[in-house]
Structure formats: C-alpha cells, structure tokens
Amino acid sequence: MNLRIAIQKSGRLNEDSLKILKECGISIDNGKDQLKASARNFPMDVFYLRNGDIPQYLKDGVVDIAVIGENVLFEKGEGIEVAEKLGFSKCKVSMAIPKNNAYSNYKDFEGKRIATSYPHTVQKFLEGWGITADIHLINGSVEIAPNIGLADVICDIVSSGSTLFKNNLKEVEVLLKSEAVLAVSPKIDQERRQILDKLRFRIRSVLQARKNRYVLMNVPNTSLDAILKILPGMRSPTVLPLADEGWSSVHTVINKDKFWEVIDELRLAGAEGILVCPIEKMVL
C-alpha cells in the first residue's frame, strides 16, 4: 500500500514540492506530462493536479496528503488537517485599491465592488467586520478589474507587490499570510498514516537543516569562556584541542536568522578561521 500525495501540476509550488521530496531521499520516476508517478525507494504515489482541485481530492480521500498553499486551504479546504508547515512559497492574501484612492480602515469596503479569485475568503472577513460588499468572482488577471471599471477593490495573492505596483494599485489590508503546508485527508487510513509519520520525520530533518548552519572556529583558550557564552548551540558546543598549544577548535550549530549577529560577536571575542557549512539533514 502506497501513500498518495498530490502536488501542483506546474509552477513554483511544483518545483519546491519535488525538491523537498528529493531532499527527503525520495526518488520519483516521472516523465513529461505524466499525471501520476511512483517513488522508487519509498511507498508513495505522486499525483500532479490543478492547485484548486487538490482540496476536494483530499476531502474525497482520492489522495492522502498534499503539498498546498494555506491560502487555498482557507478558501476551499475547511476542516482539512495541516500536518506540517513547509516554509516555502510564502505570500499574502491582501485587499488592494487604486493607489490614488484614500483609505482609512476596513469600513471603507462597505458597499464596494470587490474582484477576487478568493470569494469565500473575502466573505469570511467581510462577515467578521460586519461589512456588506458586492463580490465579483474573477479567475485570473484580477489586478485589471479597477482599471476597466469592474471593481473598486481587489483581493488577491501578493508576493513581492510588483504586480500591484505595475497596475497602479496599493495594498491596504492583509487578510492572511500563507506558505506551503503538508495537508492530510480526513479519510486517511491507519496504515497510510504510519507511512506519513515516516515522511514527516524526514521532512522535519530537512526543514531543521535549512534553518541552521554548522560553524567551526579556532579560539585561543584565553577567550574560550567568552566564546562559549555567546554560542547558542543545540546543547553545548564541541571543543577540541588544536595541535598549536593554547588553541581549541569549537564546533556548533547556529540558526541562520541569527547568524551574522552571532558571527560578529564571535570575531570580537577572539574567534578566528571561522568556517561555515550548510547542513544536509538535521535529525533531532
């Protein structure tokens, strides 16, 4: 019995999904335009599906798990379990208006025409705010709606904001922040859930590795205590004597988000020959 996973048929989410499976040691045999493929070395079948169709496949139990954006789950996948946040394909679902229009707060949406590909998401927020507006469903090219007089406001995915800028729009409200997640069908059986647990273990090891860097440095023993106080290692750094008397080699792991601040402190405290290495896997 194989675990059935759905990923986006094409696009950035497809590439990142296949990349994380590869980093988990899973080799996928798939040819061009193939809609289903199997792993050579893991009990898994991969289904390549349209992004918007994936929530229904999960609900129906056609697939057991999926890599999908939180924004799509919020729109179409109510009640579907999120097993892991994957840290890639980050974006926002935001309201935007013509850049020359004034904006005070969400009350300005009252009575407005809102164009969006996310009607249920917009409706949920409008109801929460106690606002009544006219929602126009548009599949694709939502940004053009205000320019052709179809809508006063749009609600769409925002990544860099460049598309809004090119269409003379400005972001005024962020409805939700999204990233890729591993979603689980409510109909997954126990045998496949056991396979899922093995996959989640691998994914966590990959994600932990992405967040950290392995650091080695040479430290004069006179500065060792000061250096060890700076280091935020998982437990405690490894300290080994060097051939040169009075010096030690210190090995540790540093979170990449704090990396440069820590490195600056280490240099000031006397560390030399600092070597930084990526971590392929990190099993905790």
State the CATH number of the domain containing residue 172.
3.40.190.10
57 lies in which domain range? 3-89+180-188
* Interatomic CA distance for residues 84 and 72, integer angstroms: 15
pLDDT over threshold 80, residue 120: yes
Same domain, residue pair 56 and 110: no
User: Is there a domain that residue 194 lies in?
Assistant: no
Same domain, residue pair 83 and 124: no
Please say which residue of 178, 202, 234 terminates a domain: 178
- Tell me the per-residue pLDDT of 156-190, one tens digit each, with 9 for 90 and over: 999 888 889 889 999 999 999 999 999 999 999 99
As a whole number, the mean pLDDT across the chain is: 92
45 with 34: CB under 8 angstroms?
Answer: no
Same domain, residue pair 41 and 146: no
Binned at pLDDT 50, 70 and 90, residue 32 comes out as low
Could you tell me where the DSSP H helices lie in the chain? 12-23, 54-60, 70-76, 119-129, 162-166, 190-211, 224-230, 259-269
Give the pLDDT of residue 234: 57
98 with 154: CB under 8 angstroms?
Answer: no
User: Is there a domain that residue 133 lies in?
Assistant: yes
From the CB of residue 103, how many other CB atoms can be counted at a distance below 10 Å?
A: 17
- Tell me the per-residue pLDDT of 225-276, one tens digit each, with 9 for 90 and over: 999 988 865 567 899 999 989 999 999 998 888 889 999 999 999 999 999 9
Give the pLDDT of residue 31: 59
**Run of H or E residues at 132:** none
- The model's pTM: 0.85
User: Is there a domain that residue 151 lies in?
Assistant: yes
User: Is there a domain that residue 283 lies in?
Assistant: no
Q: What is the CATH number of the domain that holds 232?
A: 3.30.70.120
Binned at pLDDT 50, 70 and 90, residue 141 comes out as confident
Binned at pLDDT 50, 70 and 90, residue 39 comes out as very high
DSSP 73: H
Same domain, residue pair 47 and 15: yes
